[in-house]
Amino acid sequence: METYDPQAIETRWQKVWEDENAFHTPNAGPGTGNAYFVLEMLPYPSGTLHVGQVRNYTQGDVLTHFHRRHGKRVMRPMGFDSFGLNAENAAIRDGGHPRDIVRENIKKIRAQMKRMGWAIDWEREIASHEPEYYRWTQWLFLQFLKAGQAMRKEAPVKWCPKDQTVLANEQVIDGRCERCGTLVESKMLEQWFFRYTTYADELLDEMDLLESWPERILAAQRNWIGRSEGAELLFRVDELDIDIPVFTTRADTVYGATFFVLAPEHPLVPKLVAATEQEPAVLDYVRRTAAHSFAERENKEKDGVFTGRFAINPANGERIPMWVADYVLMEYGSGAIMAVPAHDDRDFEFAAKYELPVRQVIAPVDGSEPELPYVAKSREAKLVNSEQFTGLPAPEGERQIVEWLGKRGRGRPAISYRLRDWLLSRQRYWGSPIPVVHCGSCGIVPVPEEELPVLLPEIEDYAPKGKSPLESAEDWIRVPCPQCGGEARREADTMDTFVDSSWYFLRYCDPHNDTAPFERSAIDEWCPVDQYIGGIEHAVLHLLYARYFIKVLNDLGIVGFREPFSRLFNHGWVDMGGAKMSKSKGNAISPDDFVREHGADALRLYILFIGPADARVEWQATGLEGMSRFLRRLWRVALEVAAQSPEEGPGELAHKANETIVKVTDDIGRRFAYNTAIAAVMELVNEIARDPSAPGARFAVETAVSLIQPAAPHVAEELWGRLGHERLWEQPWPTADPSLLQRETFELVVQVNGKVRDPLEVPADLPEDELVARAKESPKVQAQLNGGEIRQTIVVPRKLVNLVVN
């Protein structure tokens, strides 16, 4: 018998699919129906693919085939997130232009993807570094600018001293740069921001529109947005005519405020201490704090310095000392707090260090004496030492105090968010230029849309210098102002690559459009994405940015929906040596050797079989052999069955095959349980192998081949041909024959006191009382009953009988 030769089979079919453009799905216009958009997250073209990424795209591939064969017009595109530091750093390290590095990498990855046999519509390929793409990234930026959603502002920002660029909040992990691990510093800089925070409530509330996002992602986003309801209270600075607002979630504790703290970066600090005895000490403290990285600041013991000033507590008129301390953050709330040491851990720690007074104003309702700090805020806690509010439950006390202060103009309910605006400018070369011009007389002027794209200039030296390398492109940077024609300079910063990936799925719908980013009709046909697949690492990065982007575009009337990704599946990553497999960790395993030795089908099957699709798994190459073994067995059995004259008839194999159809369809379509789907087909093949000449064997083999096709399309296609058929990739998905799902008998589980005593084969149509009678007849059951009296009989139709005795 001819042996299974995966190399020959796979390259043959890959050529057929390529020649036929088999997986291109053209636009058919909106309302055509049946459109289904399968999308995996945009890959970053660093080097070559590893098996962890193979997992992502193989899962998407199974769904692509599955939905195609259910009659859907599936769009399954591919592209590359090709701007960014990775290519730029490689260029600095090894020489060469980032563009050439990216081009090389994309070429290699594309070849690997084709060799994996993934059903990708290559006619829609995009790459974010190409002018044809970033022209429209720039165009979208201008729409945001017009709408007031993009702006320049000075703010305390995170700065990576190694990459020499600012970072978005989301790119700082444990106080370190997400990319290089360097401790991140704080700088006060004027930068470009998207007004992310204006959409905080929509980003929270419209989570209801998401059909099946994993709870952990939603939780991470809720957590990241960090909405908290409280109040803003006004404290007057004694002897100065200045009011300073504070945000608090514990207005119920206002009578316990014994001191007041400002962040070192608070703009009023210099004014408070100007020309006072405390000025040198305070300014020195502010300077020393600025020199600390965020991580250092978080981990050190709290300290601070007295300003010499006092604030007036708006509730009781008390004079309380004002301090500057680094445990108060300028970025949150108003950058100043009322400190209530009796009921806040941090304030308590600070008060203990500087021997500041502690006054308890909340106590348990049961009258017990709590250990301080006592942070309870519930109906179990009541106010004490709080003048007319004493005795109220804490939540009610809060409400009344805010209302009372409000009437006197000293407070109001307020909401604060942890979310900060999205800092989008980067002082680096390899990104899309921000399409504006700085003019001495007109200020910031957008580049006219018809002049887009603003092309990246060619420069010699990409090395980061703390300001954008584009500054050195003198010819490029000097331009006449589009408004007044006077001398002006181009914006030299480039955009965060997350801007590129916030809209790429829209471009797939109309990838070659050169007069607009996309036709609205193309978007209406395909979007939102029906099934998005990607790793959890983008929980609060890409996934939140893209949601924001779409909401703005929807409000601008550019797209007709609120949420970009209807359904999201988070695949688990692949570990190697106990750590997540990645290029940067140096533990990446290339698929190439496995493809060469066992074939793409075996690797595809194995990566699906290795564990539940959403679980993290450890890479173990030994399991791959089992998949090769299975494919050889399938090959042998199929050829053997193909060679014999068909002996049809609904035997046991026909039942088994129909049950397998039901199981596999449900596993793939509803549960994303590719591992058990494959196990089910294996079971069927094992069953056929026991007697390939049994009745129904041919039907069973064809079913097995058809069901395994989304996971192992090459061998399935080859065997389908040898079984006398054609073009399996276009065949309708098999449906089960209900009459063959019915069996004449079933195995009745007979229990005594809940323990299985005798499984009995009985006719399917036996009435309940007959089932019980059969159960009682069983000698094994009789032995267990031991003549005892049956107190209760439980019958589960078509499953079991449970006899309960004393």
Partner RNA sequence: GCGGGCGUGGCGGAACUGGCAAACGCGCUGGGUUUAGGUCCCAGUGGGGCUCACGCCCCUUACAGGUUCGAGUCCUGUCGCCCGCACCA
Find the binding residues for RNA in span 171-230 (CB under 7 A). 173-174, 215-216, 219-220, 222-224, 226, 228, 230
CB of 453 to RNA, least distance (A): 34
Pairing of strands 411-416, 800-805: unpaired
Touching RNA, residues 673-712 (CB under 7 A): 673, 675-676, 678-679, 682-683, 686, 689-690
Q: How far is the CB of 95 from RNA (least distance, A)?
A: 34
Q: CB–CB of 383/252 below 8 Å?
A: yes
Under a CB-based contact definition with an 8 Å cutoff, are residues 430 and 464 in contact? Answer: no
Residue 146 interacting with RNA (CB under 7 A): no
| Contacting RNA within 253-292 (CB under 7 A) | 263
Stretch that binds RNA, among 45-53, 395-403, 558-566, 796-804 (CB under 7 A): 796-804
CB of 572 to RNA, least distance (A): 8
The nearest distance, CB 451 to RNA, in angstroms, is 39
**Alpha-carbon gap, residue 576 to 588, rounded angstroms:** 8
Produce one character per residue of 26-60: b if its CB has 16 or more CB atoms within 10 Å, e if not: ebeebeeeebbbbbbbbbbbbbbbbbbbbbbbbbb
Whole-number minimum distance, CB 36 to RNA, in Å? 22
CB of 803 to RNA, least distance (A): 9
Q: What's the min distance (Å) between Cβ of 770 and RNA?
A: 19
| Binds RNA (CB under 7 A): choice among 44, 247, 422, 508 | 247
Binding to RNA by residue 802, rule CB under 7 A? yes
The answer to whether residues 231 and 248 touch, using CB atoms and an 8 Å cutoff, is: yes
Q: Of 605-634, which residues contact RNA (CB under 7 A)?
A: 609-612, 615-618, 620, 622-623, 625-630, 632-633
* Best CA proximity match to 771, nearest among 753, 793, 743, 792: 793
Nearer to RNA by Cβ, of 222 and 596: the residue is 222
Task: Specify the stretch interacting with RNA by CB under 7 A; choose among 189-197, 377-385, 478-486, 604-612.
Answer: 604-612
Of 532-571, binders to RNA (CB under 7 A) are 536, 539-540
Fill in the amino acid letter for 495. M
Residues 331-350 that bind RNA (CB under 7 A): 331-333, 335, 337, 344, 346
Residue 325 pairs with which residues in a beta bridge?
Answer: 304
Interface residues for RNA in 348-367 (CB under 7 A)? none
Q: Which of 191, 248, 307, 313 binds RNA (CB under 7 A)?
A: 248
By CB under 7 A, tell whether 800 contacts RNA: yes
* Smaller CB separation from RNA, 6 or 517: 6
Q: Is 640 a residue that touches RNA (CB under 7 A)?
A: no
Q: Which is nearer to RNA, 173 or 455 (CB)?
A: 173
Among 755, 787, 789, 806, binds RNA (CB under 7 A): 755
Nearer to RNA, 99 or 633 (CB): 633
Size of the site for RNA (CB under 7 A): 91
For RNA, the closer CB: 418 or 489: 418
Shortest Cβ distance from residue 219 to RNA (Å)?
4
Q: Which of residues 13-52 bind RNA (CB under 7 A)?
A: none
Residue window 73-112: x/- pattern of binding to RNA, with contact defined by CB under 7 A: ----------------------------------------
Q: What are the DSSP E strand ranges found in 530-669? A: 531-534, 568-570, 574-576, 579-580, 617-618
Q: How far is the CB of 623 from RNA (least distance, A)?
A: 5
Restricted to residues 396-425, the positions that interact with RNA (CB under 7 A) are 416, 418
The residue assigned the tokens 């709870």 is: 215
399 or 780, CB closer to RNA? 780
How far apart are the C-alpha atoms of 477 and 469, rounded to whole Å?
11
Q: Which is nearer to RNA, 93 or 755 (CB)?
A: 755
Question: CB–CB of 618/610 below 8 Å?
Answer: no
Nearest CB to RNA, comparing residues 30 and 413: 413
Nearest in space to 492 (alpha carbons), one of 437, 444, 532, 452:
437
H-only helix segments in 200-278? 200-205, 215-225, 269-273
CA-to-CA distance for 68 and 732, rounded, in angstroms? 8
State which residue, 384 or 540, has the beta carbon closest to RNA.
540
SS3 680: helix
Going by DSSP bridges, is the β-strand pair 800-805/790-796 parallel, antiparallel, or unpaired? antiparallel
Q: Which of 494, 395, 659 is closest to 137 using CA atoms? A: 494
* Footprint (CB under 7 A) of RNA, residues 722-751: 747, 749, 751
3-class secondary structure, 346: helix
Give least dist CB 527 to RNA, A: 28
Give dist(CA 730, CA 109) in Å, integer: 27
Counting Cα atoms < 13 Å in the Cβ hemisphere of 35 gives 22
Q: Which is closer to RNA, CB of 378 or CB of 620?
A: 620
Examine residue 786 and tell whether it contacts RNA (CB under 7 A).
no
Select from 78, 27, 142 the least CA-distant residue to 553. Answer: 142
Which residues inside 442-471 make contact with RNA, applying CB under 7 A? none
Q: 658 or 751, CB closer to RNA?
A: 751
Shortest reach from residue 437's CB to RNA, in Å: 35
- Please state, in angstroms and rounded to a whole number, the distance separating the CA atoms of residues 83 and 87: 7
Distance set, CA 380 to CA 123, 231, 393, 590 (Å) = 64, 21, 7, 59
Ranges of beta strands (E only) in 288-354 are: 304-312, 319-325, 336-339
Task: Compare residues 174 and 647 and give the one whose CB is closer to RNA.
Answer: 174
Residue 616: CB minimum distance to RNA, A: 7
319-325/259-262 β-pairing: parallel
Min separation Cβ 732 and RNA, Å: 23
Least Cβ distance, residue 797 to RNA (angstroms): 10
CA 552-557-558 angle, 5° bins = 80
- Give 173 or 180: the residue with its C-beta nearer to RNA: 173
Structure tokens at 86: 């990775």
CB-nearer residue toward RNA: 145 or 315? 315
User: How far apart, in whole angstroms, are the C-alpha atoms of residue 464 and residue 472?
Assistant: 11
- 348-366 in b/e burial notation, b at 16+ Cβ within 10 A? bebbeeeebebbbbbbeee
- Which residues, numbered 477-496, are part of the site for RNA (CB under 7 A)? none
Helices 98-115 and 6-20 pack at an angle, to 10 degrees, of 110
Compute the least distance from the CB of residue 760 to RNA, in Å: 10
Residue with tokens 């502002």: 153
In the complex, least distance from residue 442 CB atom to RNA, rounded to whole angstroms: 37
